[in-house]
Amino acid sequence: MKAINLISIAFGAIAGTYARYLLNLSLLYTGYPIGTVIENLLGSFILGLLTGFFVWKKPKEWIKLGLGVGVCGGFTTYSTFAGDVISLTQHHLFWGAIYVIVSLVGGILLALAGYLCGEAAGGNLVKVHEVK
C-alpha cells in the first residue's frame, strides 16, 4: 500500500475518533448510550453519501480511503455498540432491543439515504460540467 494512503487513513482516523470522543463527552449526562447511536447512524449516512458520490466523481485513492476508512471508521464503533447492547439487555431487555433495532435498521436506512443523496449530488455535478 502506498504511504500516502496509510497517512490519509491515519489522519482521517484521528479526526473521526476525536469527533466521536467529543460527541460522547457532550452526551454523557443522558445516562443512555445515545452518543454511540448518533455516531453509528451519522457515520452510516456519511459513508453512504461518500459511496454514492464516488460513483460519479472518482477521487484519488488516498482521499477515498482517508474519508471512508479513516474518518468514518474512526467515527463509528461496532465494539462500543456490542458492549452497550450487553449492558442494556442485562438491565432492561426492552431498551436493549430498541437500541439494537434503531442502530441496525436506522444504520441501513441512513446508509441507503446517504447513498441516494450522494449519487444524486454526484450525478448533478457531472450534468453541470457536461452543460458547460
Residue ranges at the known binding site for Na(+): 73, 76
CA distance 84 to 35: 11
Measured between alpha carbons, how far is 109 from 20 in angstroms, rounded to an integer? Answer: 21
Question: What is the distance in angstroms between the CA of the first residue and the CA of the last residue of the chain?
Answer: 37
Is residue 70 a contact partner of residue 8, using CB atoms and an 8 Å limit? yes
Q: Give the separation between CA 22 and CA 10, rounded to whole angstroms.
A: 18
Binding positions are 73, 76
Radius of gyration of the chain (CA): 17
